[in-house]
């Protein structure tokens, strides 16, 4: 009898499993948070002219403001993953939404561009470094099995939709009112999310007292920051030969030395983490994250998705707007094709394709992205795009949607529940690394190809004057510009209009060949991922596991 009474008492203490709408209410809140972070990041891209006109910002200021968010967020997300274990995922979620609220409010009301950059965008990046790991950690903690697969697929779908919807909505508000109203609206949005955070399902905190790794946080944040800045500045500072004579390190470009410093610090970080985990039982980068092949390949897939996002924006959207001269609205229509593809496959994978193995789905997704890269090259004409470009947008959406439906699931199913919830920070960081490496690699390829082709064709030209050839030879790097922008580049350097017209023609051809080369390189990167970074992904479906 006492045994039976104890059993009944324990049953009564167990929370009832939620069903129907109640089971998915937390997911709705989580998806709204994911949509908010995407809106903040992508919405800023359409506020450029407003910031220049209202705050007196320069183009460099706007570029710095755009870079601040991913730099801060990417450097701090691993720390956010561990903080969630200590204070709880709901509190981390609300801490992120509060910081985002303050960031948007400052952005809406400040009259100083420096405050906008360092306070508003800095707080936004810090808030995202808590909110994004919380989103992934809450899903891993609240949902299991098939429910978890559906939840991660829903996040992937929201990312696809937000890539198009956020700039459109932000742009409409700016056009109808002004950019301050847009940021004030986002502030209100995050205030509501903070309140909704109280209604999230609870995730059980670790019963083991966890010590926060402050020194490890400093190491990983500074290492990632140095790595990101070094990679992103290659096209501005140069790879080895400095583009800007005032920005050098021991006579060479500081880009690679900064990357080397970042990698060295990150190696030291991993060694420190191993000792810290052995002593305290928990750390920022558990050994399971480093030594579990399935988790590692899952992180590769997380990085690959955002590598493709960055590539599409850098190669595709840039070509649309600078070369084909598409308006923001016309560009958004192309983005809708991409978003539709991603929405379709991210939802279909856990529902209609749930009997297909994770590895097969990921390889099919990578293959679609590889085909998209080839279509991107074929679709980039001298001064326009053709139907292949639309196929490129669709196939990138379809491919990344498939992979996004699996990537987080591969990671979280590879480790225990505690490490699965903590993995959100590492997943988010792998996204930033993938995007940064992709932009750096493709951007460097385009820069060298464009510069080399323009210089060689100018030198071989029989109609270009000696003066013009000399001026071309003196330029360290040829930037990727529209025809009008390229013409302005030479107006103060070359006196003969005929020479400038010849150079514009040369640049058109070089611009097309450089972007096509970058697209083909992207196709080879896709092949490399398929051959070498999917081997430890399970040859079974993870979407059929019982909740």
19, 133, 429 from 414: Cα distances, Å: 26, 17, 18
Cα distance between residue 299 and residue 293, in whole Å: 10
* pTM of the complete model: 0.86
Per-residue exposure over 193-216, b if at least 16 CB sit within 10 Å of its own CB, e if not: bbebbeebbebebeeeebebbeeb
Cα distance between residue 452 and residue 465, in whole Å: 19
pLDDT at 333: 79
| Options 3.90.660.20, 3.40.1190.20, 3.40.50.300, 1.20.1250.20; CATH of 23-147+156-209 | 1.20.1250.20
Confidence of residue 264 (pLDDT cuts 50, 70, 90): very high
Cα distance between residue 190 and residue 29, in whole Å: 11
Determine the average pLDDT of the residues in 65-79. Answer: 83
**pLDDT tens column, 401-440:** 999 999 999 999 999 888 888 899 899 899 888 888 888 8
Alpha carbon distance, N-terminus to C-terminus of the chain:
32
Cα distance between residue 198 and residue 431, in whole Å: 28
95 has a pLDDT exceeding 90: yes
388 has a pLDDT exceeding 90: yes
Closest listed residue to residue 344, CA positions, set 395, 296, 389, 390: 395
297 contacts 396 by C-beta, under 8 angstroms: no
**pLDDT tens column, 328-360:** 667 777 888 998 999 999 989 988 998 999 999
pLDDT at 13: 44
Phi, psi for 349 (deg, rounded to 5): -55, -50
**pLDDT tens column, 210-226:** 889 999 999 999 999 99
**pLDDT tens column, 269-321:** 999 999 999 998 889 999 989 899 999 999 999 999 999 988 998 898 888 88
DSSP string, 152-181: HHHHHHHHHHHHHHHHHHHHHHHHHS-HHH
**pLDDT tens column, 102-150:** 999 999 999 999 999 899 999 999 999 999 999 999 999 999 888 998 9
pLDDT at 331: 78
Cα distance between residue 433 and residue 429, in whole Å: 6
Each domain of the chain, given as residue ranges in start order, spans 23-147+156-209, 211-281, 449-520
3 has a pLDDT exceeding 90: no
In the block, tokens 């390829």 appear at 445
Pick the more confident residue, 13 or 72: 72
Let me know how many helices (H) and strands (E) the chain has, helices first.
22, 0
DSSP string, 337-380: HHHHHHHHHHHHHHHTSTTS-HHHHHHHHHHHHHHHHHHHHHTB
């Amino acid at each position: 009898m006492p045994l039976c009474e104890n059993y009944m008492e324990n049953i009564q203490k167990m929370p009832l499993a939620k069903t129907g709408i109640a089971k998915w209410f937390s997911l709705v809140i989580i998806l709204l948070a994911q949509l908010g972070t995407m809106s903040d990041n992508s919405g800023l891209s359409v506020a450029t002219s407003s910031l220049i006109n209202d705050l007196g910002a320069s183009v460099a200021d706007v570029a710095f403001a755009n870079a601040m968010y991913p730099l801060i967020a990417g450097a701090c997300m691993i720390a956010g993953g561990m903080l969630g274990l200590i204070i709880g995922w709901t509190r981390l979620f609300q801490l992120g939404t509060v910081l985002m609220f303050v960031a948007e409010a400052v952005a809406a009301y400040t009259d100083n561009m420096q405050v906008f950059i360092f306070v508003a965008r800095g707080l936004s990046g810090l808030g995202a470094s808590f909110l994004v790991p919380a989103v992934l950690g809450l899903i891993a903690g609240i949902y299991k099995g098939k429910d978890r697969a559906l939840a991660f697929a829903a996040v992937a779908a929201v990312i696809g939709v937000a890539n198009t919807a956020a700039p459109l909505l932000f742009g409409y508000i700016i056009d109808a009112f002004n950019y301050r109203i847009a940021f004030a609206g986002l502030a209100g949005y995050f205030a509501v999310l903070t309140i909704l955070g109280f209604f999230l399902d609870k995730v059980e905190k670790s019963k083991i007292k966890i010590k926060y790794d402050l020194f490890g946080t400093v190491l990983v944040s500074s290492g990632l920051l140095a790595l990101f800045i070094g990679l992103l500045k290659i096209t501005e500072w140069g790879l080895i030969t400095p583009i800007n004579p005032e920005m050098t390190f021991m006579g060479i470009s500081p880009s690679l030395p900064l990357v080397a410093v970042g990698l060295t610090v990150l190696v030291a970080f991993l060694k420190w983490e191993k000792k810290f985990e052995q002593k305290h039982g928990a750390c920022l980068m558990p050994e399971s994250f480093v030594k579990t092949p399935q988790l590692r390949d899952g992180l590769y897939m997380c990085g690959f998705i955002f590598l493709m996002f960055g590539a599409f924006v850098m190669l595709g959207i840039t070509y649309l707007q600078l070369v084909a001269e598409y308006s923001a609205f016309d560009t958004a229509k192309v983005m809708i094709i991409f978003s539709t593809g991603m929405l379709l496959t991210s939802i279909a994978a856990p529902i209609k394709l749930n009997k297909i193995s994770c590895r097969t789905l990921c390889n099919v997704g990578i293959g679609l992205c590889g085909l998209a890269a080839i279509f991107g090259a074929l679709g980039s004409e001298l001064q326009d795009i053709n139907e292949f470009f639309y196929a490129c947008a669709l196939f990138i959406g379809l491919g990344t949607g498939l992979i996004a439906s699996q990537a987080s699931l591969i990671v979280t199913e590879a480790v225990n529940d505690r490490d699965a919830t903590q993995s959100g920070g590492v997943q988010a960081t792998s996204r930033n690394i993938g995007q940064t490496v992709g932009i750096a690699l493709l951007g460097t390829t385009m820069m060298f190809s464009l510069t080399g082709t323009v210089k060689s064709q100018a030198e071989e030209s029989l109609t270009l004057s000696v003066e013009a050839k000399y001026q071309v030879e003196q330029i360290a790097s040829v930037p990727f510009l529209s025809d009008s922008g390229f013409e302005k580049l030479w107006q103060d350097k070359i006196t003969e209009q005929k020479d400038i017209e010849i150079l514009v023609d040369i640049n058109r051809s070089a611009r097309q060949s450089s972007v096509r080369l970058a697209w083909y390189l992207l196709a080879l990167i896709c092949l490399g991922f398929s051959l070498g970074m999917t081997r430890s992904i399970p040859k079974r479906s993870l979407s059929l596991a019982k909740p």
